[in-house]
Amino acid sequence: PEATAKTVQGMLQQVIEDPRGVYRARVPSYHVAGKSGTARKTSVGTKGYAENSYRSLFAGFGPMSNPRYAVVVVIDEPSKGGYFGGLVSAPVFSKVMSGTLRLMNVRPDNLAPVPPEQQANAVPAVAPVKGGRG
């Protein structure tokens, strides 16, 4: 049901936003959700797993205000800096999702609110044109 889906979405969002979570998957200015994974590869021709042979994964979606893009990153046998999904694949997810949201002109849904005292003193981004028409 929809209530269960919303609960799981919230959990997957917390995976990224919690300081103890997969912070490398964060996308600046957006709320996103996802899950990391690490899998040992099987050994060809034998029963069991290969020694030091892994797949690093991260799957996520966003923006949470209106989820419409999903990105799955699978890195086969990562060779630098470890093999855990949250360490290896999550930063790739962050870059790909960030670029996707920017290129698709998706409005940020995680901007810090501007305090009222700063709003009153804000300077317009474009100054009014004097003597212009219309």
Residue holding tokens 């966003």? 62
The amino acid occupying position 9 is Q
pLDDT digits (tens, 9 = 90+) for 68-89: 999 999 999 998 779 999 999 9
pLDDT digits (tens, 9 = 90+) for 15-44: 999 888 899 999 999 999 999 999 999 988
Residue holding tokens 């989820």? 67
The helix (run of H) or strand (run of E) holding residue 4 is helix 2-17
Assessment of whether the complete model's pTM goes beyond 0.85: no
Fold for the domain defined by 2-120? Beta-Lactamase (3.30.450)
Instruction: Kindly list the domain boundaries of the chain, sorted by start residue.
Output: 2-120
Is the predicted pLDDT of residue 124 greater than 90, yes or no?
A: no
Identify the bridge partners of residue 34 per DSSP, sorted by sequence position. 60
pLDDT digits (tens, 9 = 90+) for 91-117: 999 999 999 999 999 999 987 776 676
